[in-house]
Each structure stands twice: as C-alpha cells, then as structure tokens.
C-alpha cells in the first residue's frame, strides 16, 4: 500500500499513524480541519513524502483520492461530550462526512476504506463479554453516529471497494496531538499535577484499553492483509487482558505516581460499561497489542516530568471545541463588514 490518505491525520491517532507509515516508506496524504493547529505534523512535513491539506470531510476535494491505495477515516467529532455540544454538527461530520468521503474514494477507484469506529457502540454491556457479533446498545450520540456510519458504509461494500471497521478500545499514551480527556491520560495528569484522582460511579465500570501506537498498528495490519480477510469485516481493537474497572486503572496510576490519593465519587453521568473480547483480530490478522497500560502511564509521567506535554486547553477536546464555538459567537457579534477592526 504505497499511498495512504488519512482523514483526521493531524489528530491524536492520525499523527501517530502518519509517522509510522512514513517510517515504512509510504506516501501519506492528510486531510484535516486543523482545529488544533498544524504543529502535530510539523516535524513530519520536514521529512517529505507527506502532503497536508486543510479541509473538511463534509466537502473533500475529489483530486485528493487520485492514486490513493487506502483511506483511513479517522476524522470525527471525537468523544461523547464533544458530540453533545452541537448534535447537528456531530451528525453531519460523523455520518454525512464519512459517507461523502467513502463515496468519493469509491468513485476514484480506491480499493480499501478503513473506518475508525469505537467499542463505545456496545454501550451498556449488561455484564456480557462482548464480541463483534454482540448487540449494539449505544448510550451516547457519539456512539450512535458510529453505529449509523458503520451501517451506511456496509452498503457501499462491493468486489472493488473493501470496507473494514475497527472498533477501537479506549486509547491511551503519548501522541504529538496529545489528549488529556482519555481515562488513563487524564488520571495520570491529575495524579502528577494534583496528587489526586477522582473516580466516578464507584469505579466499577469496565473499560477496554489500547495504546495509541497499537491502534495505528491495527490500521496498518488491515492495509497489508489479504482482501478476503478484511473486506466487510469489523474488528475490536484492543486486548482481552486490558479490560479493567476504572477503580483498578486509578490504582495502577497510583502505583506509578506515588502519594496520589484516589477519591471515589458516588455518581457518574457516563453510563458506558463494557467488557470486550478481542480474540478475532488476533485470530484473523495475527495482531495483538505491544504496549501495556503501565507502560502508557510511565511514558506520560516521564513526558510531564520533562516538560514535553502539558494540560493546556488544546489537550482537552470538549473544552477546546467549546472555546472555539464561544469565540466564533463573539467574533460574529463584534465583526463589521467581515472584519473585527
């Protein structure tokens, strides 16, 4: 697969995937709205063999798909609270934008389309161990958009256009576009900066975990796999050994960041609770994670100690989106004839 188009390629997963693809000699094209700036890809652009296009998946340029061998579709309003800020925008980006991108890819003769879905589509798992055939019980708008997008993409599948959905577990670990709104990442930040972790809802909710680099490796495995193994398939991406209750995650972080207090808060508005089985991706593709949660916690702690990352507003997706929406409203109010001054 010499040429890969990554939508959302300047994001948390995309920036890691772009780097790994370039290391293997691929040509990479990135389509990204660049809400969080171009910095995550700045060092890669100096190396060459990467093109970064500022654009929107709801209206991508058809020329971008010329000569592309695989599309990795990561672009999305990317978590539950961010989707809730503006449900209409979330629907148009996560569903309409996905379908528009896929249709243009298919029309251009791109043979493979790999969609970033989420284990959150399983929602409230009712104590079951969930595999790819388990019922989908999404409890959030974000998860519902992923379910709808998967279903609509399946309608485009044919002998010339392979569609694969990767249902990622909850990501953790370092990325050039760092996120501190993911459970391991934010808890590690709070442990390091505040020596305190808050655990909501008694911490009995199950979360499947996977390192961001392992997610990137999973996409690369699908790209290189024989078509008959991945066409029309969905794969849970994670490890059955990395399902943990939230309280256990907090305890692991306390092991790495000493003198951290864990405070349990009774209620939790997040009703997701799912214990996921990941046997299929290892059985079919031979893929399994290389990183553990402890490794992820340690690397984040070390990056904080060295000043390589911090908890600025741009690392908190929903806070930053809210800031942008509020700034847009202010500019609209004070602008005159298209200018502020």
pLDDT digit string (tens) for the chain, length 341 residues: 689 999 999 999 999 999 999 999 999 999 999 999 999 999 999 888 999 999 999 999 999 999 999 999 999 998 888 999 999 999 999 999 999 999 999 999 999 999 999 999 998 766 688 999 999 999 899 999 999 999 999 999 999 999 999 999 999 999 999 999 999 999 999 999 999 999 987 888 889 999 999 999 999 999 999 999 999 999 999 999 999 999 999 999 999 999 999 999 876 666 667 789 999 999 999 999 999 999 999 999 999 999 999 999 999 999 999 999 999 999 999 999 888 88
- Provide the residue range defining the domain that includes 14: 3-175+210-243+270-291
Residue 141 lies in a domain: yes
> What's the pLDDT at 189?
98
In DSSP terms, 171 is beta-bridged to 210
Residue 164 lies in a domain: yes
Residue 191 lies in a domain: no
**CATH code for the domain of 126:** 3.40.50.720
CA 272 to chain centre: 17
Q: How many domains does the chain have?
A: 1
Residue 117 lies in a domain: yes
Give the residue from 85, 82, 92, 150 showing the smallest Cα distance to 118: 150
> What's the pLDDT at 1?
61
Q: Global pTM? A: 0.95
Residue 304 lies in a domain: no
Residue 192 lies in a domain: no
Cβ-count burial of 111 within 10 angstroms (0-12 exposed, 13-18 middle, 19+ buried)? middle
CA 84 to chain centre: 17
Residue 100 lies in a domain: yes
For residue 128, give Cα distances in angstroms to 210, 276, 317. 20, 8, 30
Residue 14 lies in a domain: yes
């Amino acid at each position: 697969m010499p040429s890969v188009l990554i939508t959302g390629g300047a994001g948390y997963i995309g920036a890691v995937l772009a780097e790994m693809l370039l290391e293997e000699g691929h040509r990479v094209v990135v389509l990204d709205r660049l809400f969080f700036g171009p910095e995550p890809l700045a060092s890669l652009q100096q190396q060459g063999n990467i093109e970064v296009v500022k654009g929107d998946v709801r209206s991508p340029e058809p020329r971008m798909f010329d000569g592309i061998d695989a599309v990795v579709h990561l672009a999305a309003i990317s978590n539950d609270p961010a989707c809730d800020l503006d449900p209409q925008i979330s629907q148009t980006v996560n569903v309409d934008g996905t379908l528009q991108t896929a249709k243009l890819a298919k029309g251009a003769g791109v043979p493979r389309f790999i969609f970033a879905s989420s284990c959150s589509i399983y929602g409230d798992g009712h104590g079951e161990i969930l595999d790819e055939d388990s019922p989908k019980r999404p409890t959030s708008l974000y998860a519902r958009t992923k379910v709808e997008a998967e279903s609509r993409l399946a309608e485009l599948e044919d002998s010339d256009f392979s569609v694969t959905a990767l249902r990622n577990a909850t990501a953790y670990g370092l990325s050039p576009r760092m996120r501190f709104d993911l459970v391991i990442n934010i808890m590690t930040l709070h442990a390091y900066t505040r020596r305190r972790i808050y655990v909501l809802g008694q911490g009995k909710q199950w979360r499947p975990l996977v390192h961001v680099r392992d997610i990137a490796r999973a996409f690369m495995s699908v790209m290189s796999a024989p078509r008959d193994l991945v066409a029309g398939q969905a794969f849970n991406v994670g490890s059955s050994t990395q399902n943990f209750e939230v309280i256990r995650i907090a305890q692991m972080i306390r092991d790495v960041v000493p003198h951290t207090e864990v405070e349990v808060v009774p209620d939790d508005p997040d009703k997701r609770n799912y214990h996921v089985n990941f046997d299929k991706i290892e059985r079919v593709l031979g893929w399994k994670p290389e990183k553990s949660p402890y490794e992820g916690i340690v690397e984040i702690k070390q990056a904080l100690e060295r000043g390589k990352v911090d908890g600025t507003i741009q690392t908190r997706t929903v806070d930053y989106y809210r800031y942008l929406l509020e700034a847009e409203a202010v500019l609209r109010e004070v602008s005159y004839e298209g200018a502020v001054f």
